[in-house]
Chain A
Amino acid sequence: NAGVTQTPKFRILKIGQSMTLQCAQDMNHNYMYWYRQDPGMGLKLIYYSVGAGITDKGEVPNGYNVSRSTTEDFPLRLELAAPSQTSVYFCASSGPSYGYTFGSGTRLTVV
């Protein structure tokens, strides 16, 4: 049981480039979330999904897009990378209970 798996672990992007951060969970959780964590700060919600085919914006959605075609996968897309998107990105999922299971994070640097 792998839990929540995020790839890649590290990535450096140039300004204007695009990339997709992958997130997969094998717990059959309906709820999935994307957070970003800036240095010394807490977690800010980017997007979330309550089930396959349903997504919604969180606190800081600008510059990002998501899709949820399956229960297992919840990729996060950056279309035109900007330095302000330099951060650590965490994916999480939750099931019938409220507790979240987090992935190990993707450290993204935009230069």
Chain B
Amino acid sequence: GESVGLHLPTLSVQEGDNSIINCAYSNSASDYFIWYKQESGKGPQFIIDIRSNMDKRQGQRVTVLLNKTVKHLSLQIAATQPGDSAVYFCAEIGFNRDDKIIFGKGTRLHILP
């Protein structure tokens, strides 16, 4: 079946460095991609999204890159801070509004002091 997956389950990054979290997706029909952040004991929170007609989108300290050729999505966090420690999920959704989001397993980002 089609699924969203992640390359690394855990990523350790020095505080102040940039973080790059990767995600592979297999559904070429997916039209919309979202990154969520889930802190311990909380529900997922929307970070940033990107549509399939774009290859890059920037937010505050975060950038999402989409490579449709290799079906790859990445989240870049600039100047990683302790508050960035969380599990990050990528998610994909198809063209139809009634399509459900498919979530990946998540990558845990660990910030080293």
Contacts and interface: CB of A to CB of B under 8 A. Distances in A.
A43 B89 contact: yes
Nearest to A90: B43
Given A102-B45, A103-B43, A105-B43, A43 B100 contact: no
A104 B42 contact: yes
A98 B42 contact: no
A41 interface: yes
A53 B36 CA distance: 29
A75 interface: no
A43 B49 contact: no
Interface in A29-61: 33, 35, 41-43, 45, 48, 50, 58
B101 A42 contact: no
Tell me whether chain A's interface is mostly helix, strand or loop, or mixed. strand
Contacts of A45: 100-101
B23 to A, nearest CB: 11
B100 A42 contact: no
A107 B104 CA distance: 21
B111 interface: no
Interface string A87-111: 0001010000011111111000000
Contacts of A101: 46
Given A33-B100, A104-B43, 15 more contacts: A4-B43, A35-B103, A41-B106, A42-B89, A42-B103, A42-B106, A98-B93, A99-B46, A100-B34, A100-B36, A100-B44, A103-B43, A104-B42, A105-B42, A105-B43
15 contacts: A4-B43, A41-B106, A42-B103, A43-B89, A50-B98, A90-B43, A92-B43, A99-B49, A101-B46, A102-B43, A102-B44, A102-B45, A104-B43, A105-B42, A105-B43
Interface of A: 4, 33, 35, 41-43, 45, 48, 50, 58, 90, 92, 98-105
Interface of B: 32, 34, 36, 41-46, 49, 89, 93, 98, 100-101, 103-106
